[in-house]
Structure 1
Amino acid sequence: MRVFKFGGASVKDAAGVKNLTEIVRQQVNKDILIVVSAMGKTTNALELVISDYLNNSADLKRDLEVVRTYHQTIISELFEDKTHSVYTQFERDYKALLEFLEINTSGDYDFVYDQIIGFGELFSTRIVSAFLEASGLDNTWLDVRQYIKTNASYRRAAVDWQVTKRLVTPLSVNGHILVTQGFLGSNANGFTTTLGREGSDYSAAILAGCLQAESVTIWKDVPGVLNADPRYFEGAQLLNALSYNEAIELAFYGASVIHPKTLQPLQNNTIPLYVKSFLNPEQEGTKIAADLKMEPEVPCFILKQNQILISLSTLDFSYIVEENISDIFKILHLFKMKVDLIQNSAISFSVCIDDMYNNIEDVIQHLSVKFKVEYIKNVTLFTVRHYTADAISSVEQGKSILLKQRNQHTLQIVTK
């Protein structure tokens, strides 16, 4: 079985769904599991709905209607027959969303987020599955929440691998096309959980690992893995090949083309990953597998914006040792901070973090009990893998450097 993952940009409109269908059609007589994200910017639109709902905003009805109309438009452009079952199926799913908003009694943001946000994937996969069927490609729609089981850590759930593998493995004998959602799972109580933003790639890898798939292909709006984000760096180059280890390094430092957790289940099961363009599916893209050398061997640039640089020192000017560092990381973990850079000396400790859950004020309050704390918001973190003198110069030019460190292969610079 091959696993194909299509992101939101690939199914943002009716033309995208038709293009997906043609890509799948080229895989005749092959078993395929298709993992699909929410369409276009639906996740962002549903995040607005969540905010409206929890804040009792008068805009809730309007923002819900935006989501509904967007999907109805795509459906109407794909299915001329207004009696097609996809119309009533979408209305049932949309009604389920409204019912949750009516009966929910929890004010916990993370819980509410996961129960609402997953409707984007449910909408998209219903539409994709129905259009594949109408185009002569028989398929089975699956609710991934019945297969990927997790703990109850909403918005960043951990997979229960033992249960998940037991549930997913029988799918390998299905014998035709399967369509399911990315990003989602469910916990032991049956509530929807999510695997973290951009977690659809991870979903594809989880399913592939459990199925011992032949390969995973992630279809993007770029030709493959690039050595830099072309939105911020000129002259970005396609990387034709990468090893798992190199790809994991790039993902760890924030390369947005691959979700950081995606590669582990693939490496553990020696499943190659292809990153290809849905705009030009005939192109080779990037292959990621064991023992591949990076081709071409060029510096790789990664940029992370809206970071926070925290600098700590002890109140009594004592050394920052293991006990202090343990206390610091307990607090960072408690408030779900993503640590992207660490630097310490005898009496100081600096950390560059990504405050994904807007908990910085709580973090500072807790750290201030034992440390003198200084912090700067909205800094930018540049990471350069396989740096050269020219690469360093190009990143540093014209910037105010707040922190810099390097090892044999990687340079990191925090700038304001």
Structure 2
Amino acid sequence: MTMADPASAASPWVVLKFGGTSVSSVANWKNIAAVLRDRLSNGMRPVIVHSALSGVTDRLEQLLNLALGNQWQPVMLQIEQRHRDLARDLGIIPSPDLEDQFKRLRQIAEGIALVGEVSERLRARVMAQGELMATRLGAAFLTSQGLDVQWVDARTVLKAEQRRNASTRATWLSATCSYEPDHDLQQRWSQPGTVWITQGFIASDEQGDTVLLGRGGSDTSGSYFAVKLQARRLEIWTDVPGMFSANPRSVSTARLLRALEYDEAQEIASSGAKVL
């Protein structure tokens, strides 16, 4: 699915958002590398925004819950092994930064076990690690493919707005960000031939603390980056070829819709369809 702004038609930037299943296999990463080469060959400046590996966000939530009873160790091993397995399949060595993130998660889990409490602030910090870990792997693989890649922490770019009436939970876990064009960012990322890779789902508040944009917030992140860069377009990539009559993962008889009117798409989106 592509979003384009006629006023940004001449912009060199294109933002590509990839979900968890789209960044969880070697075949998909090879396809991503090919897409990036195509965009670069057409004079574009690609920015990748991507999610945690599929299932990792759920495991991080389990880690928090299990840490309360000091039973977090098995799920932590699963999280580590998931990333090590993909790194091996991609032919890359996990970076020291990734190992530091594993260590930090273990330390946090140990702390939760001691105090017996998880604040919303800490929950946001832990849940953000999925995207941070996954983009480390993605950046390393794309670099190994000969691309000039710059890894960026999304929290240095996306800043949450203060909402007076928001609950504590919403403040930390369902934040909204300012999204006006950012000319300083455009200048910093103006180097041609470079691929910028950053995270969906995460941002920071005025104090620099981690906040989340809500489950499924990576699409929102992609939109924020596209507006800030005044990008030519936002491409939201998924592992299905289009809109179906039902969720094809749940309904085997779901049919691919060959055409969809704007009003129909708007109604489906307002009803909560994730694909839109």
Residue 121 (str. 1) matches residue 131 (str. 2): yes
5 Å-filtered alignment, 1:324-363, equals none
Rounded Cα–Cα distance in structure 1 between residues aligned with 2:27 and 2:132: 19
Q: Alpha carbons of 1:235 and 1:63: their partners in 2 closer, same or farther (altered >3 Å)?
A: closer
Question: Would you say the 8 A contact 1:31–1:177 is kept in 2?
Answer: yes
Rounded Cα–Cα distance in structure 2 between residues aligned with 1:25 and 1:138: 11
Task: Show the counterpart of 1:205.
Answer: 223
Task: Show the counterpart of 1:98.
Answer: 106
Task: Show the counterpart of 2:247.
Answer: 229
Supply the AA of the counterpart residue of 1:148. Answer: L
Question: Would you say the 8 A contact 2:69–2:116 is kept in 1?
Answer: no
Residue 160 (str. 1) matches residue 175 (str. 2): no
Rounded Cα–Cα distance in structure 2 between residues aligned with 1:148 and 1:172: 15
Rounded Cα–Cα distance in structure 2 between residues aligned with 1:108 and 1:87: 29
Supply the AA of the counterpart residue of 2:217. Answer: G
Q: Deviations over 1:117-140 (max 9, x none)?
A: 111101110111111111011111
Supply the AA of the counterpart residue of 2:207. Answer: N
Supply the AA of the counterpart residue of 1:45. Answer: R
Q: Deviations over 1:212-270 (max 9, x none)?
A: 11111111111123343232483423254553x65443222111112xxxxxxxxxxxx
TM-score (norm 1): 0.55
Task: Show the counterpart of 1:49.
Answer: 63
Supply the AA of the counterpart residue of 2:233. Answer: S
Rounded Cα–Cα distance in structure 1 between residues aligned with 2:160 and 2:187: 19
Rounded Cα–Cα distance in structure 1 between residues aligned with 2:200 and 2:258: 25
Q: Deviations over 1:154-207 (max 9, x none)?
A: 110121346x84664434523221000000001112111110111101100010
C-alpha displacement at 1:69, in angstroms?
A: 0.8
Larger radius of gyration: 1
Rounded Cα–Cα distance in structure 2 between residues aligned with 1:166 and 1:183: 23
Supply the AA of the counterpart residue of 1:56. Answer: G
More strand by share: 1
Aligned residues with identical type, % of pairs: 30
More helix by share: 2
Task: Show the counterpart of 2:47.
Answer: 33
Rounded Cα–Cα distance in structure 2 between residues aligned with 1:77 and 1:187: 36
C-alpha displacement at 1:108, in angstroms?
A: 4.6
* Residue 137 of structure 1, aligned match among 128, 132, 147: 147
Q: Deviations over 1:37-93 (max 9, x none)?
A: 00121111111101112x2232x011101100110111122226xxx5x43231122
Task: Show the counterpart of 1:63.
Answer: 75
Unmatched 5+ stretches in structure 1:
259-416
Question: Would you say the 8 A contact 1:13–1:40 is kept in 2?
Answer: no
Q: Deviations over 1:318-372 (max 9, x none)?
A: xxxxxxxxxxxxxxxxxxxxxxxxxxxxxxxxxxxxxxxxxxxxxxxxxxxxxxx
Rounded Cα–Cα distance in structure 2 between residues aligned with 1:24 and 1:122: 20
Question: Would you say the 8 A contact 2:59–2:79 is kept in 1?
Answer: yes
Rounded Cα–Cα distance in structure 1 between residues aligned with 2:183 and 2:64: 33
Task: Show the counterpart of 1:352.
Answer: none
Supply the AA of the counterpart residue of 2:105. Answer: L
Rounded Cα–Cα distance in structure 1 between residues aligned with 2:216 and 2:108: 24
Unmatched 5+ stretches in structure 2:
1-12, 163-170
Query: Could you say what the CA RMSD is over the residues aligned between the two structures, in angstroms?
Result: 2.4
Rounded Cα–Cα distance in structure 2 between residues aligned with 1:48 and 1:227: 32
Task: Show the counterpart of 2:210.
Answer: 192
Residue 6 (str. 1) matches residue 25 (str. 2): no
Q: Identify which range, 152-161 or 206-215, moves more after superposition.
A: 152-161
Question: Would you say the 8 A contact 1:106–1:112 is kept in 2?
Answer: no
Rounded Cα–Cα distance in structure 2 between residues aligned with 1:171 and 1:239: 41
Task: Show the counterpart of 1:378.
Answer: none
Q: Alpha carbons of 1:233 and 1:61: their partners in 2 closer, same or farther (altered >3 Å)?
A: closer
Equivalenced residues, count? 250
Residue 110 (str. 1) matches residue 120 (str. 2): yes
Rounded Cα–Cα distance in structure 2 between residues aligned with 1:191 and 1:64: 23
Supply the AA of the counterpart residue of 2:240. Answer: V
Q: Deviations over 1:266-301 (max 9, x none)?
A: xxxxxxxxxxxxxxxxxxxxxxxxxxxxxxxxxxxx
Supply the AA of the counterpart residue of 1:192. Answer: T
Task: Show the counterpart of 2:165.
Answer: none
